[in-house]
Amino acid sequence: MREGEDNLGVVAALVRSSFLVNAVYAESAREYGLTPQQGQLLCVLMAQPYGMTALGTVLRLAKSSLTELVDRTAQRGLVRREADPADRRAVRVALTKRGSELAEAFYTAACDRIEQLPAALGDAERDRLAELLSQVVHDNNVPTVFLERDESAAGSR
């Protein structure tokens, strides 16, 4: 903490941190010609294809908004709809080869930028920050919308 700065309360700190991460994420997305929502979609699909219902739950989008997002992203050749092998009536969304390559590049750039946000913290402080934020994420059952770096390589292949 810098001299003369007061600690923020937990609400202000979380909200302002969220704005900071979202701004960095959106800037990375723009550089790859993506909207932040398309970036989220690609990052989610890096792990595996998803059915539309599950994808809507993970991204917290209404059916109509999700359909529009998938349509726009499919028109760009980044995702495709495919039959769900477990249910012929259902459709799931998967990355195309081009989408997988773009997802990996965007994901790496976003990770690199976000990794730099707590650059002024020491290793122990970064570990503690990760521990505390992990607890908040787990306690609130936040879906996996962004993989750990080591998980992304395995999931996108």
Contact between 45 and 123 (Cβ < 8 Å):
no
Distance, CA of 67 to CA of 84 (rounded, Å): 17
What residue ranges define each of the domains in the chain, with the CATH number in brackets?
Answer: 10-155 (1.10.10.10)
For the chain, which residues score pLDDT lower than 70?
1-4, 149-157
pLDDT, residue 144, reads 74
Q: Which tens digit of pLDDT belongs to each residue from 116-139?
A: 999 999 999 999 999 999 999 999
Per-residue pLDDT tens for 18-31? 999 999 999 999 99
- Please report, to the nearest 10 degrees, the dihedral formed by the alpha carbons of residues 18, 109, 127, 146 taken in order: 60
Answer yes or no: are the C-beta atoms of 45 and 103 closer than 8 Å: yes
